[in-house]
Structure 1
């Protein structure tokens, strides 16, 4: 059986062990993603009982974070399908996320005896993820023009779990502490670059590719990196015009204007350049580890169109 299918089966077994038909019914509506974090584990630590368990735990945590994220953002679509909060309401989505988090932590303790660092590494990443969510909500209250604040937020919210997954997988593979840190650095850079590419695609991709309307981040109150760069490139009058569209239903005329400003500025190119530089630094950190598949994962993530 393919490793990714084994991971899905392990996650399903976690849920079945809860003896909760309601949880199983709600879980049927979850959309499977790219399983990026699992691919990192499998390519760093190989396929084993322990690596499948680690993948299942991390994917449960990722699913929990997305369940909560959709409620926070009032997102009714997830990967072109209705989100759990759209189907069953915010309360059920929040509680299902809580179940996923709790069950993941229950299973995580299995590593304590042989790999005592792994539970702490993964648990700490969830703390940082939650802190990033808080910062994201705070930043969305007004138009943010501070690049450093935004990058610090996505390092917690998006990159923390990816970073810790790569680090934990390296320990599972019995890498030396020094080498394990190289994989941790790779994971952090992958996570930050991943979010920046997502930011770009929200502007440049089609609705069909995204599974949601373009410029959706801006309408939801997220001043992502391309908007920060765009803002600083505009004249004062246009800065104010851009800010007026923040967190609003954007008219067709304003959408055309915003897209024109992006075309005329270097905001998208600057954002992509930063993502590419982060990716290159991440790949450089593991250049002595013979990990061609991880290099390919980074390159594919940066070059993706959805």
Structure 2
């Protein structure tokens, strides 16, 4: 899971999102896969059906608040980039969304979250037990969809990704409230809990299209690096986004004592008084009114939010480079543009 590499000015300005700026790249990609995406949406709704009424009610609540469904969109785009014309990309895209949704349900219970994209979380509405159990149901549905593709390679990739995500969540518990966490350790956590599913989704697109190992690896690298970008920007947004836009309470990571990259960098660069502040707030969870403002001022002082965005840009460059082996075209350009879209969310 080695993902830490040296930083540098590696932005490839030629051919990157040349027909789609950061602001509309995702919409461009959605239009390219619109017909497939409509089938995925139907598949998701159909697979949520259960004789137990609470299951579709709760699952529908979390899926409705799940945003742009970027992971299944990327699977569809990767399959089309590789020239796939068969039927299995639809069920596998739904599978990826179910895996993601199940992890959201479990994460909200672990984090005791109250809001997701501006809506009350399922654990607040129905309680922790129902949220965990419906998450298990969605995981089960995802494995049914995996097997229906009839590919051991696909089953291996997605089941391994599910295990890695779970490992990442456990790793995150070991770093929670622990200011000894290094940048390397934190990047390993997000590579597992976030980037693994991105990588699996894009790699599956190559597998079902029958592409060679090099194309598989390239698309897996693209997804993995994009997943790291996505999580790093989420770390930034928790401290500087508008709450109405973010859809959750700004500063939640701080209040929960989560050790994200902006905190790791601020702690490492702080003097003894600053380190004492971070230990009190993050390790001891002894927080007072005004502490979040102090944390933001320290991040500003040491430039840690801007540096986290710089890290995201670096991994975004690597994601775009991974696509260079594929012929230029609308899907490749839109997938490159999505990298910039994910980064520009921070502004």
Matching of residue 59 in structure 1 with residue 97 in structure 2: yes
Cα-Cα RMSD:
1.7
Q: Which moved more, 1:35-44 or 1:152-161?
A: 35-44
Give the conservation status (yes or no) of the 8 Å contact 2:206–2:216. yes
1:282 paired residue number = 319
Range that drifts further, 254-263 or 152-161: 254-263
Q: Which residue of 1 aligns with 2:336?
A: 295
1:137-186 CA deviation, whole Å, 9 max, x = no partner?
12114334311111111110001111111111111222211111100111
Q: 1:11 Cα shift?
A: 1.1
Q: Which gives a bigger RCO, structure 1 or 2 (Cα 8 Å, sep 6+)?
A: 2
Q: What secondary structure, in the 3-state scheme, does the structure 1 residue paired with 2:224 have? A: helix
Counterpart in the other structure of 1:19: 51
Structure 2: any 5+ residue segments left out of the alignment?
Answer: 1-33
Residue 68 of structure 2 is matched in structure 1 by: 34
List aligned pairs for 1:54-93, cutoff 5 A.
54-93=92-131
| Residue 45 (structure 1) aligns with | 79
- More moved, 245-254 vs 55-64: 245-254
Counterpart contact for 1:205–1:214, Cα < 8 Å: yes
Q: Secondary structure of the equivalent of 2:54?
A: helix
TM-score for both structures, normalised by structure 2: 0.83
1:251-270 → structure 2 map (5 Å cutoff)? 251-270=288-307
Q: Is the 8 A contact 1:122 1:164 kept in 2?
A: yes
Tell me the CA shift for residue 48 of structure 1: 5.1
Which segments of 5 or more consecutive residues in structure 1 lack a partner in the other structure? none
Q: For 2:136, which of 70, 94, 98 is the aligned residue? A: 98
Q: How many residues were matched structurally? A: 303
* CA separation of 1:8 and 1:166: change in aligned 2, threshold 3 A: same
Shift of 1:22: 2.3
Match of 1:137 in 2: 173
Aligned partners of 2:281 and 2:287 also within 8 Å: yes
Q: Which has the higher helix share?
A: 1
**TM-score for both structures, normalised by structure 1:** 0.94
C-alpha distance after superposition, 1:174-220 (max 9, x if no partner): 22111111001111101111100100111111222222222211211
Counterpart of 2:290 in 1: which secondary structure? helix
